[in-house]
Amino acid sequence: MTEFCNQGIIFCKFENTYTGGLNKNTPKLDKQEIQNLKIQFEEEILSKSLNRVTHYLLSKKIEHEIRKTDQIARTAQEAADRIECHLNQIVKSIIFSAPSSDSLVLFLTAGGNFVNTHKTENLLGFSLQKADAQIIRSRTGFVIGGVPPFAHKEGLAVYMDPELLNQSLLWAAAGTPFHVFSIKSDVLLATTKAKVLGFTK
């Protein structure tokens, strides 16, 4: 469970409930006020995540464009439609855990492709399991749907789908589910130091 405090209120993030005031002087709030505080807190977190990615791009002198979408794209196709690009120009950051080493593995995957777990385990020589949302957020610093290819809290082993190199310009999550940034495919490869691997179906 992740808790956060805002103006004397404790929220349980995953249970999505209000657990009470921090002290007897904390004013009682109605449900709408509580919801507004939660939205405000989430916006602050997302803003910090976007700033983190932007700072990384600027520090590496990476040419880029950041765009904001009005709604969360539930699929890579929806993201491509909103950005008006080809499906395989979308970079999906798919994270697995390697139980044998307690490490995370990032697969940069073209929008129209999917990680073939069995094939990839044979190529890498160790087992994989899909990382859950809590692990991803705590160890990368980003929420699912907003995980960028870099600027994570901890180092990840990174593998890149060869299909991405067939696209000159790519679009990847910029730290939030509402922001994406553009990057040249060769620059993404060099920046992430990814190994190109045919891990898709």
If you average pLDDT over residues 101-110, what whole number do you get?
Answer: 96
In angstroms, the Cα distances linking 192 to 9, 93, 153, 189 are 39, 12, 14, 6
Query: Has this prediction a pTM greater than 0.85?
Result: no
pLDDT of residue 21 exceeding 80, the answer is no
- Of the listed ranges 24-38, 66-80, 179-193, the one predicted with least confidence: 24-38
Tokens standing for residue 164: 């991405």
How far apart CA 77 and CA 85 sit, in angstroms, is 9
**Rounded-to-10 torsion of CA 13, 91, 61, 144:** 0
Size (the chain), residues? 201
Domains along the sequence of the chain with CATH: 3-58 (no CATH), 63-196 (3.90.960.10)
**How big is the chain by its Cα radius of gyration, in Å?**
19
Q: Which residue has the tokens 């000159």?
A: 168
pLDDT of residue 30 exceeding 80, the answer is no
Amino acid at 110: A
pLDDT grade for 183, boundaries at 50, 70 and 90: very high
- Cβ atoms within 10 Å of 121's Cβ, excluding its own: 16
Q: Is 200 helix (H, G, I), strand (E, B) or coil?
A: strand
Mean pLDDT of the chain: 84
Q: Is 173 helix (H, G, I), strand (E, B) or coil?
A: strand
Which comes out higher in pLDDT, residue 72 or 83? 83
